[in-house]
Amino acid sequence: MIKTATTQSRSKTQIESLAQQAGIAIGGTRPWDVRVHDHRFFDRVMAQGTLGLGEAYMEGWWDCDALDEFFARALRARLEEKVTGRAGFLLAALEAKFHARNFEGMGTVKRHYDLGNDLYRAMLDKRMVYTCAYWKDAHNLDEAQEAKLDLVCRKLGLRPGMRVLDIGCGWGSFVKFAAERYGVKATGITIAEKQAELAREMCRGLPVEILLQDYRDMRGEFDRIVSLGMFEHVGVRNYRLYMEAAHRCLAEGGLFLLHTMGANQPYQDVEPWTVKYIFPDSMIPSISQVGAALENLFVMEDWHNLSTDYDRTLCSWHGNFERAWPQLKGDAYDETFRRMWNYYLLLFAASFRARKNQLWQMVLSRNPQGQYQSIR
């Protein structure tokens, strides 16, 4: 279908009106204003919504000096509640939400974590922690991530000789830290081959075992279990199965710390740009979904919200990525990848800044013995 000048003008007017409600101007001069380089942008966004907005950015059809603030302003303005019809597709992208996809496995998500260890070495802190940092008393990303790892260890009350399981261990940052600082014997599981290879290298010489394994195949008994940033990849249909697997492997009187992004309400639809380019088959759980999954299995001992810490963490990753780009760019990472990755990092930073997404640390117990003392 050939778009007429009248149709293009109508799309432009609709998008300009939406943007103005959030204090954003099309063609403005402020950092969060949008510069459109290709007039097809307006029709594409109106027709394709989230996917069109993100792909148009990747292809260079539009720019914004402060992309994170652009998204944060749109989210704070609650534009999604003020529009109906086709314009609502635009707002789906501005909300930056994960949604359920009713999948059975986790195989596709490892694509994200196997992009390349060089990328993550450049972007992350020295310990390669790919989850929200803890900035309470920290001055830089390295300090903030070490503070987070120590916070988790203290919440779990780790002691020498304890058996600890890390579900979704990434590059082994937590199991390495816990073994070195707290003297535990740790097992980490991941489904990403490149992560497992580097994790084994990083943990060499320590009482740490790294397994290439799905959480549903976990066996053994552990005094403590931790899962940092993995629950988002389980899917709503598998939440109960995940909790049952953790319950099966946790010793009587043991503690389980679940660190996950959180949503303000349950979502039912899939956000196409995020699923296509960043995290296939993923969603962010709501309070009610988490609660239903753990009922009659665990006692909720503590619930800690660190959502604003994630905004700062994502912005730090973005800064590291941009500084490392001259060394990273090449056949594996081209300019389209650079724009996609910046879009992802700043989109998510904005979702936490606007408090549309949360970051929760929950301490769960199995047949608790005594009173749990909350730690911050």
**pLDDT, tens digit, 9 for 90 and up, residues 208-259:** 999 999 999 999 999 999 999 999 999 899 999 999 999 999 999 999 999 9
**CA–CA separation, 282 vs 122, rounded Å?**
25
Residue 117's Cβ-count burial label (10 Å; 0-12, 13-18, 19+) is middle
**CA–CA separation, 87 vs 95, rounded Å?**
13
pLDDT number for residue 111: 77
**pLDDT top residue among 313 and 103:** 313
Residue 312, pLDDT above cutoff 50: yes
Query: 35 - beta bridge partners?
Result: 63
Q: For residue range 318-349, what is the model confidence (pLDDT) as tens digits?
A: 999 999 999 999 988 999 999 999 999 999 99
**CA–CA separation, 265 vs 341, rounded Å?**
27
Residue 8, pLDDT above cutoff 50: yes
CA distances from 228 to 84, 151, 372 (A): 37, 12, 20
**pLDDT top residue among 6 and 121:** 121
Phi, psi of 268 (to 5 degrees): -115, -25
198: which 2 tokens? 């580097």
Residue 262 makes CB contacts below 8 A (sequence gap 6+) with: 284, 285, 286, 287, 290, 305, 307, 357, 358, 359, 360
**CA–CA separation, 166 vs 16, rounded Å?**
47
Q: Where do you find CATH 3.40.50.150 in the chain?
A: 107-365
Q: For residue range 161-178, what is the model confidence (pLDDT) as tens digits?
A: 999 999 999 999 999 999
Confidence of residue 132 (pLDDT cuts 50, 70, 90): very high
Q: How many CB atoms lie within 10 A of CB 342?
A: 18
Q: For residue range 355-373, what is the model confidence (pLDDT) as tens digits?
A: 999 999 999 999 888 889 8
**CA–CA separation, 342 vs 324, rounded Å?**
13
pLDDT number for residue 262: 96
Fold of 107-365: Rossmann fold (3.40.50)
